[in-house]
Amino acid sequence: MASKLRPHAGIAGAGVLGRLLAWRLAHAGWRVSVVDPAPDALAPARGSLFHAPHAAGFTAAGMLSPLAELDQAEPDVAALGWRSLDLWQAIARRLPARADAPQGLVRRQDSLLLAHPSDLGAAQRVLARLEAARAQDPAWPAAQPLDAEALQALEPALAPRLWGWRLPGEGQVLGPALLEALAADAPGVTWHWGRRVSEVSPHRLTLDEGQTLTVDLAIDARGLGARPENPDQAHTMSPSDPRPTLRGVRGEVVWLHAPGVPLRRPLRLLHPRHRVYLVPRPGDLVLLGASELDSEDRSPVSLRSAVELMAAAHSVIPELAEARIVHLEANLRPALPDHRPWVQHAPGWLAINGLFRHGWLLAPALVEQALTGLGLPTLAHHQEAAHA
Ligand SMILES: Cc1cc2nc3c(=O)[nH]c(=O)nc-3n(C[C@H](O)[C@H](O)[C@H](O)COP(=O)(O)OP(=O)(O)OC[C@H]3O[C@@H](n4cnc5c(N)ncnc54)[C@H](O)[C@@H]3O)c2cc1C
């Protein structure tokens, strides 16, 4: 054991999962060491075309859309998303206010699902999946159809003739700011930036130069970095549980600066080729995403993806024609073949991976589930202790 007094966790990876685990454990009184190859805790600089590989959580739009994600996710996965929405709100309440998030790090009101008349079939398919989930669990909110007048009242910049549905209770996080905030508010965490973990085994992180860190709990939160570097090795994430190959799914986003274009909530357009969304960010920014390509290419955004995403955005909000393109970014989502999240633990070892396109949506619920499985206090207990 690393310590007889305060338990010590070693976390490989400082993405969404790694930082949230570090934050939770630090506030529960653990000593925590986090290792990540990134140079520091900050979001990568905007505006440059080439980035060193960095956490997918920085690139993500941060949509918390359990209803809309039923398009792809199973109802049990989406149900974890509902749980996470409450948890993110509780976490955000505990984090210090930030100037770059004047309306808070987590927002929850609703989102809109939109379709052009020619794509109504796609909309009906998503709505049917939502209704099927509601048939199993009537607690799920219903998508509310909106007529043209109601749509314009909610989002005055929308193009006419769109079909729309309000998805109540959905939300969004300001991903880059929230990642920085979690790292800044984790007392007693030792961050080892610029270092890579080659193996996570019970009670031990092995770093790239062969150095080892002996801990009470070794946590693998490396996302795609959990794959063995040698392709001849079996693609396992733990010695005891052989799992199929992790793969990266490329996603590209475009940041627009659009002063004067009102956008109040996340919009999702049902589009034949992409799952297009437009997400408002502070500073008159609109994040437009995202392609989903079965490719592990980390090179800059392609012209084709950029054109298709921007054409779709312009078709939803014509006023975006004069928006300025301020940043383009590509990254890889860590995915397993079944596109489901994967949580495993053994004495002295925990691994979470495969969050695919739902990492922000699922992380808090999965972290709570994993920590409870290890006999650690839940966030609710932790909050009661903080208020005692
Ligand atoms: C374009 C795009 C849009 C997205 N939009 C959304 C969205 O709207 N909503 C949503 O819920 N999700 C979204 N996602 C998905 C979400 O970003 C991911 O599911 C989530 O970031 C996965 O979290 P993670 O912590 O497992 O991995 P990551 O966030 O990728 O973090 C992994 C960390 O491990 C580190 N690492 C890698 N190798 C090593 C190593 N050898 N040793 C130590 N550390 C290592 C990396 O540097 C990184 O910091 C999107 C993703 C993309 C790419």
Q: What is the pLDDT of residue 367?
A: 97
pLDDT at 378: 74
- Residue 164 CB less than 6 A away from ligand 1: no
**Is residue 387 predicted with pLDDT exceeding 50?**
no
The predicted model gives 223-228 an average pLDDT of 91
276 lines ligand 1 (CB under 6 A): no
Look at the alpha carbons of 117, 119, 120, 123 in this order and tell me if their dihedral is positive or negative: negative
Alpha helices in 207-332 (DSSP H): 303-316
Distance from residue 357's CA to the centre of ligand 1 (Å): 9
Predicted local confidence at residue 206, as pLDDT: 97
Q: Which range (61-70, 87-96, 369-378) has the least confidence?
A: 369-378
pLDDT digits (tens, 9 = 90+) for 124-139: 888 998 999 888 888 8
Q: Give the CA distances from residue 384 to residues 25, 160, 234, 340, 377, in Å, rounded to whole numbers and listed in that order.
A: 15, 49, 44, 32, 11
| pLDDT of res. 235 | 47
Q: Is 331's C-beta closer than 6 angstroms to any atom of ligand 1?
A: yes
The residue ranking higher by pLDDT, 52 or 217, is: 217
Closest ligand 1 atom, residue 175 Cα? 17
Task: With a cut of 60, say whether residue 283 has pLDDT above it.
Answer: yes
Q: Is 337 left (phi over 0), alpha (psi -120 to 50) or beta?
A: alpha
**pLDDT per residue as tens digits for the range 162-198:** 999 999 999 999 999 999 999 999 998 999 999 999 9
96-103 mean pLDDT: 94
CB 292 within 8 A of CB 251: yes
User: pLDDT at position 136, please?
Assistant: 87
What's the whole-model pTM score?
0.94
| For ligand 1, atom 16: residue with the closest CA | 359
- Is the confidence at residue 232, as pLDDT, over 60? no
Pocket test residue of 24, 268, 357 for ligand 1, highest count of atoms within 8 A of CB: 357
pLDDT score for 313? 97
Q: 144 C-alpha vs ligand 1 centroid, how far in Å?
A: 32
- Residue with the smallest CA separation from ligand 1 atom 5 is 60
pLDDT reading at 360 higher than 50: yes
What are the tens digits of pLDDT across the range 311-344?
A: 999 999 999 999 999 999 999 999 999 999 999 9
Q: What's the pLDDT at 288?
A: 98
pLDDT of residue 231: 54
> Of 222, 268, 336, which is best to mutate to test ligand 1, by the most ligand atoms within 8 angstroms of its C-beta?
222
CA atoms 161, 163, 169, 170: torsion sign: negative
pLDDT at 238: 59
- Average per-residue pLDDT in the chain? 91
* Cβ of residue 176 lying under 6 Å from some atom of ligand 1: no
The angle at the Cα of 6, spanning 386 to 212, to the nearest 5 degrees, equals 130
Q: What is the pLDDT of residue 373?
A: 86
Please state the atom number of ligand 1 nearest to the C-alpha of residue 277: 8
Whether omega for the bond prior to residue 290 falls within 30 degrees of 0, making it cis, is yes
User: From the CA of 131, how far away is ligand 1's center (Å)?
Assistant: 30
Q: Please report the pLDDT score of residue 50 as a whole number.
A: 76
pLDDT digits 0-9 by tens, 10-43: 999 999 999 999 999 999 999 999 999 999 999 9
Confirm or reject: Cβ of 333 under 6 Å from ligand 1: yes
Cα separations in angstroms, 336 against 80, 124, 249 = 18, 28, 10
Q: Quick one: pLDDT at residue 242?
A: 52
Q: Does ligand 1 lie within 6 Å of residue 254's CB atom?
A: no
Tell how far the Cα of 342 is from the centroid of ligand 1, in angstroms.
Answer: 14
H or E element, residue 253: strand 247-257
Cα dihedral value 29, 34, 38, 44, nearest 10? -20
pLDDT reported for residue 53: 87
CA-nearest residue for atom 15, ligand 1, is: 357
d(CA 293, CA 275) in angstroms, rounded, equals: 11
Instruction: pLDDT band for 388, please (50, 70, 90 cuts).
Output: very low
What is the pLDDT averaged over residues 149-165?
96
- Predicted confidence at residue 233, as pLDDT, reads 53
How confident is residue 236, by pLDDT bands cut at 50, 70 and 90?
low
